[in-house]
């Protein structure tokens, strides 16, 4: 969603039970919540920020513990 010219944000949340594969982002038995922010300060420049949380809905029998991860990235790209 464009907030103001050059700035956009996005929010996605999904849960996928075992046996239902919808996409590569949403794997089986997992909950995913992701927030993204993009800013284009000028032509050819892009600043991106992503914050993502993944967790298992039910602990797999082969897993030592349930997956519960939070990760992020910050990137500034320049296209010549």
Q: Cβ–Cβ contacts within 10 Å for residue 71, how many?
A: 10
User: Residue 47: beta bridge partners?
Assistant: 39, 76
Domain ranges within the chain, ordered by starting residue: 2-78
CB atoms within 10 A of CB 60: 13
What is the distance, to the nearest Å, from the Cα of residue 58 to the centroid of all Cα atoms in its chain? Answer: 20
pLDDT score at 14: 86
Token digits of residue 22 = 């919808």
Give 13-71 pLDDT, tens digit per residue: 988 877 666 666 777 778 889 999 999 999 999 999 999 998 888 776 676 776 789 99
Asked whether the predicted pLDDT for residue 2 surpasses 70, the reply is yes
Q: What would the mean pLDDT of 1-11 be, rounded to a whole number?
A: 91
pLDDT score at 33: 93
Q: What is the pLDDT of residue 21?
A: 64
Does the global pTM surpass 0.95? no
């Amino acid at each position: 969603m464009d907030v103001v010219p050059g700035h956009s944000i996005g929010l996605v949340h999904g849960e996928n039970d075992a046996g239902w594969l919808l996409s590569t982002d949403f794997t089986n038995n997992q909950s995913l919540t992701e927030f993204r922010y993009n800013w284009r300060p000028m032509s050819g420049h892009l600043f991106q920020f992503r914050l993502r949380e993944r967790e298992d809905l039910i602990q797999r029998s082969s897993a030592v513990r349930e997956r519960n991860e939070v990760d992020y990235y910050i990137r500034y790209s320049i296209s010549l």
